[in-house]
Amino acid sequence: MYSQGLTDAKGQEEPADLLAEFQAKIDREEKIEPRDWMPMAYRKTLIRQMSQHAHSEIVGQLPEGNWITRAPTLNRKMILLAKVQDEAGHGLYIYSATETLGVSRDQLTDELLTGKAKYSSIFNYPTPSWADMGAIGWLVDGAAIMNQVPLCRCSYGPYARSMVRICKEESFHQRQGYEIMTVLARGTQAQKDMAQRALNRTWWPSLMMFGPSDKNSTHSAQSMKWKIKRFSNDELRQKFIDATVPQAEHLGLTIPDPDLKWNEETGHYDHGEINWDELFQVIKGNGPCNKERLQARIDAHENGEWVREAAQTYQQKQNNQHNEAA
């Protein structure tokens, strides 16, 4: 349920002095806390962004969860399990942080399952080989870190604080992914090929994780002003490319972009055109695994219905007994 504050404010003009004080506070780099006054649009933007983030963590369990039962060694199995479990934990923190904005986890879950809410498009791609576990850790978690480190300084306190811990864990995830790739790249020809194919699959979708290019990004300018966002999509994407290309070279793998080359003048890598149509198709629901991923979440929710109901009934019975005894 949305809180009263949010419904009441619907359609009403927000007082100019409050708005000015709010912006001044942000400009002074002070955190906005749940009980503070905030413009409705700020609240809505955060609910949208934070819940998308939480959903991404939860749906993001699936492509890697896919390989836990097939991980090649006991250590790899344990590391992958711990990592995917971390993602569920991140989802939990961020749902909790979102609840401070006056929305319930049940409602957010409902929005995910009915397709109203979005999650990161990257999780709608398949993970057919073990090397995808390496590529996801290295590239997808790497891209996530680029996006999330600035969020540690986000103007909304609960979100910023949850990101501090999440970023620490993500950095461990990124390293374990790169380590998987390192072992494969130094392995047999079959393993190298496996690693190269995973890089080919994951490279472009990970660049798309930074969102549309700055010219087409609808939410960016206001979010920058509110210091929810600190860098533009294209800036973060460029940072990611610049950091990742040398890592690929170190592995002896080839990034699948013939236009990729170092530009002395700019001090950055130039890269080929991103297939934006593909990104918009995946966001629209037409990616290779959109239906499967959402269905897996719907199944988990529906199959768990009786368990949640049982737990609630049991709790009620306990409370009743307790009240009778009192």
Partner 1 sequence: MATQINNKALHTYLLRLADSSLTMGQRLAEWCGHGPYLEEDVALTNVSLDLIGHAQIFYQLAVALSDDSQTADDLAFLRDSHEYRNPIITELPKGDFAYTTLKQYFIDVFSVQLYQALSKSSYEPLSLAAQKALMEVKYHLKRSEAWVERLSLSTDEAKVRMQKALNDLWFYTPELFETDAALNELIEQGVIADLLALKTKWNEQVKTLLQRCQLEIPESGWVATGGLAGEHSEHLGYMLAEMQFLQRAYPGCEW
Pick the closer one to partner 1 by CB: 62 or 135. 62
Angle value at C-alpha 258, between 254 and 259, nearest 5 degrees? 125
- Min. distance of Cβ 58 from partner 1 in angstroms? 7
| Residue 113 binding partner 1, by CB under 8 A | no
| Residue 126 binding partner 1, by CB under 8 A | no
| Residue 193 binding partner 1, by CB under 8 A | no
DSSP-H helix ranges across 30-135:
40-59, 61-65, 74-99, 105-113, 131-135
| Residue 323 binding partner 1, by CB under 8 A | no
| Residue 309 binding partner 1, by CB under 8 A | yes
| Interface with partner 1: number of residues (CB under 8 A) | 46
* Candidate list 104, 191, 217, 281; residue touching partner 1; CB under 8 A: 191
| Residue 252 binding partner 1, by CB under 8 A | no
* Candidate list 153, 168, 291, 317; residue touching partner 1; CB under 8 A: 317
Q: Footprint of partner 1 on residues 65-84 (CB under 8 A)?
A: 65, 68-78, 81-82, 84
- Part in contact with partner 1 (CB under 8 A); list of ranges 38-46, 143-151, 188-196, 259-267: 188-196
- First CA to last CA distance, the chain: 32
| Residue 190 binding partner 1, by CB under 8 A | yes
CB-based contact 76:257 (threshold 8 Å) = no
- Min. distance of Cβ 110 from partner 1 in angstroms? 14
| Residue 173 binding partner 1, by CB under 8 A | no
Pick the closer one to partner 1 by CB: 76 or 271. 76
Q: Footprint of partner 1 on residues 268-307 (CB under 8 A)?
A: 296, 299-300, 303-307
- Min. distance of Cβ 318 from partner 1 in angstroms? 9
Q: How far is 213 from 271, CA to CA, in rounded Å?
A: 13
CB contact set of 228 (below 8 Å; sequence gap of 6+): 42, 45, 46, 49, 154, 155, 156
Q: Which residues bind partner 1 (CB under 8 A)?
A: 58, 61-62, 65, 68-78, 81-82, 84-85, 88-89, 91-92, 95, 130, 183, 186-188, 190-191, 296, 299-300, 303-311, 313-314, 317
